[in-house]
Structure formats: C-alpha cells, structure tokens
Structure 1
Amino acid sequence: MELVNEMVYIVDDDASVGEALSSLLRANGRRVQIFTSGQEFLTFERQDTAACLILDLRMPGLNGLQVQKSISAKLAIPVIFITGRGDIPSSVTAMKEGAIDFLTKPVDEMALLNCVERAIDLDRSHRRKALEDAALLARYQSLTPRERQVLPLLVRGMLNKQAAGELGITEYTVQIHRAHIMRKMEADSFATLVKLASKLNLE
C-alpha cells in the first residue's frame, strides 16, 4: 500500500545503490525519487509534503556534508546518511548538523526502513508545527494596534484597571479589548491566551 503524500529522496552517485534502495522502499509502500548528485537535488523544487532524504556521504562534486549544510540553509528536511565505510568524524559532524542517523553500506534493510519512518514522522511533526505557528501569527496580526498593546499587559498579570492606567484608557475599554482579543486569538480561557502569548514571546 502506497503511503500517499509522503516522499523519500535518494541522493547517491552510484545508480545501482539508488535503484536498490528505491526498490526496497517502494516494496514497502514509499514514494521515491532518485538523484545522482547533490547539485541535482539542490536545484530540485521539493514537493509540499512530508519527506526525508537518504544522502550518500562521499560523492563527486558536492559531498554529503556539503549538501546537508546547503539544505539546512534552504529548507528543513530530515537526513539519513549512508556511506561505504565507517567515518566517525564525518558521522559526528552530520549528527551535529541534525542528521537522523548514519548507516554503513551495505545498509541493513530493517534499520533503513525504521530510520525512514522515524524521519518522515519527524518531518510531519515539524510541518504541522509550522502550520500551527503560521496560523497563530495570523491570528495575532488580526489584532488592532491597541489590542496588541493590551495583550502583553494582561498576560503579565495586570488587572484591567492597571492596564487601563498604563495605557491611559478606561477600564471598560480594556474589558472590550480583552473580549476582542480572546475572540480573535480563539482562546477559550485566559489560561489558553497566556499559552498562546508565550508561543509568540509576548510575555
């Protein structure tokens, strides 16, 4: 059964390795796209879906670590490194840069499948959080300038009267702003509003 809307990208200059990995992954329901160089992958426009990258360490042109650094600067995608021989310094560097794992050829099939599942789960989680963060920011940006002044005062624990004094407006006006803020931020309680403000670093 194909896992819809999920993609595994493979970058390996050895076509036979790429095809072998692709066959394994496709047999387990994964959609796969193969690239034979880091340059080719970096110029490719990634699909808007959860994905991971299986990346060969040693390749002509850009090596795996260089590709990883370029990816980190452009877009976030979980990386699984594969290499023909153990390379502790490179593996340490790769892991520090956020690689999911570092596997040695010939790759253990179950280890690779587990890594891919973990990597795509991680990417799915990151993408979900990014969408949630964008939605939260959009709600915050829907507030009026005055409501944006009132919000941080309230979540810091100021009473309506204190916030009114701080801003030079009436307590009733603060109450109105507070109601509008709760509605626009889609907060069902003041505790929820405080959590949302914390995510926006407004405290």
Structure 2
Amino acid sequence: MPGIVHVVDDDASFRTAIQRLLEVAGYRVITYPSAQQLLNQRPDENARGCILLDVRLPGVSGPELQRRLTERGSILPIIFLTGYQDITTTVKAMKAGADNFLIKPVSADELLRAIGTAIARHDSERALNSELEALRARLSTLTPRQRQVFELVVRGKTNKHAARELGCTERTIKAHRQEIMKKMKVRTLPELVTIAERLDVSGPRNVPPRDD
C-alpha cells in the first residue's frame, strides 16, 4: 500500500480534486476541512503517510497545526501547499520541520514526487522509532545495579574503577558486564556505547544500595 495522505484544506472543490488524483495514484486519502478536525481525529502515526496542508485555514492555521503536532511528538511529514507565496512563512515552516512547501498550481508529477519523498521519510522515522523502542525495552530489563555498571562502563570506566566507585569487587563488575551485554544483545563495548548514545544515557546517577 502506497500510504495515507491526510489532506487539510478548507476548499471543498480542491479537496475533491486532490482526492481523485491521489486515489488514482494508489493512495488512500482522508480529507479535513479544518486543522482542528485533524487534531480531533488524531491520524495514526504508525500508518505510513503524510499530511498535505494548506497554510491559510479558518481557525487554526497551517503553521499553528504544524506547531501543535510537533508538540504532540508527531512524526507525520508535512507538505505545505498554498496559493500565496510568502517567503517568511516558507522559511519558518521549513525550519520547523516541514518536508516541502509547494505553491499552487502544482503539477501532478511534482505533487506526487513530493508525497513519495515524504512518505519514504516517514518510513525511515518509523523504523528508527521502532529500533529505539526496542533498545529502551532492553535497557528497562537491567537491575538498578546493572544500570549503574552500564552507565560507568559506557563512560569509559575500567572494571577496577567501577568496582571502587560502587564498592564491590572487580569480579562482581565483570559478572554484571556479562549480564548487561547479554540483556542488551551486544558483543562489544563499542556497540554498547553506541546504544547509550542513541538512548542519550548519561551517568552515573546516585548509587543504589548494594544488591551484589
């Protein structure tokens, strides 16, 4: 399935024309006469797609909708489509993360290329989020002490230094490291460091009571 295109425009005839064009191209299309309606319906972030958004809308404007979706953590790419060329608005929208900014009238080929690119980016974002969720799930399986060892190790502490800081033996640290590598599903220290960077793990936090 090519994906879902969420069309937000207050012009009914435009929505109908765009829907026909995109459905012929194989897309599923959901239309909204206002930005508020899209906010109320909450598009499925897990379904591959993008948002085709007018700038000037009654009530909540296109840029305002973009801001609110960003605050909600939305990763659906946004393509702005407007009949009014406004450099300031264009620059602000692109800096805020818009995928593209098209000026009406736009050719079918240009529009379809922009949508294809946006949906491909959405695929990448969803894949990345899925990977991060899997890594967070692995991290959550560490015990409080293992988490402390993990944080010390990825900061470059040796077994000796980690043992001294946590008040235990080097042998205990080695045992923890082996279990951490197993739970995090990695074989090397560089892999563990990479995971820590991706999860933005910093440490150590306050050392918990000994459970060695």
The two structures have a TM-score, normalised by structure 1, of 0.92
> 1: distance between equivalents of 2:96 and 2:194?
30
SS in 2 for 1:76: coil
1:52 CA drift (Å): 0.6
1:103 CA drift (Å): 1.0
The reply on whether 1:91 has 2:90 as its aligned counterpart is yes
**Match of 1:11?**
8
Number of matched pairs:
200
1:80 CA drift (Å): 0.6
SS in 1 for 2:41: coil
Q: How does 1:171-182 map to 2 (within 5 A)?
A: 171-182=170-181
SS in 2 for 1:102: strand
SS in 2 for 1:201: coil
1:145 CA drift (Å): 0.7
Residues 131-188 of structure 1, C-alpha deviation per residue, up to 9 Å, x if partnerless?
1111111111110111111112222222222221221111111111011000001112
> 2: distance between equivalents of 1:164 and 1:184?
20
Q: How does 1:78-157 map to 2 (within 5 A)?
A: 78-157=77-156
CA 1:141–1:59: 2 relative to 1, 3 Å: same
What amino acid sits opposite 1:53 in the alignment? I
The reply on whether 1:61 has 2:59 as its aligned counterpart is yes
List runs of 5+ in structure 2 lacking aligned partners. 203-212
Q: How does 1:27-42 map to 2 (within 5 A)?
A: 27-42=24-39
> 2: distance between equivalents of 1:192 and 1:148?
16
Residues 27-73 of structure 1, C-alpha deviation per residue, up to 9 Å, x if partnerless?
11111111111111110121231221001111222221222222222
Percent same amino acid at aligned positions? 42
The two structures have a TM-score, normalised by structure 2, of 0.88
SS in 2 for 1:77: coil
The reply on whether 1:51 has 2:37 as its aligned counterpart is no
What amino acid sits opposite 1:166 in the alignment? E
Query: RMSD of the TM alignment (CA)?
Result: 1.5
Residues 110-137 of structure 1, C-alpha deviation per residue, up to 9 Å, x if partnerless?
1111111111111111111111111111
CA 1:200–1:63: 2 relative to 1, 3 Å: closer
> 2: distance between equivalents of 1:45 and 1:94?
21
SS in 2 for 1:81: strand
**Match of 2:205?**
none
> 2: distance between equivalents of 1:157 and 1:85?
55
> 2: distance between equivalents of 1:201 and 1:36?
40
CA 1:85–1:157: 2 relative to 1, 3 Å: closer
> 2: distance between equivalents of 1:72 and 1:201?
20
> 1: distance between equivalents of 2:127 and 2:112?
22
SS in 2 for 1:43: helix
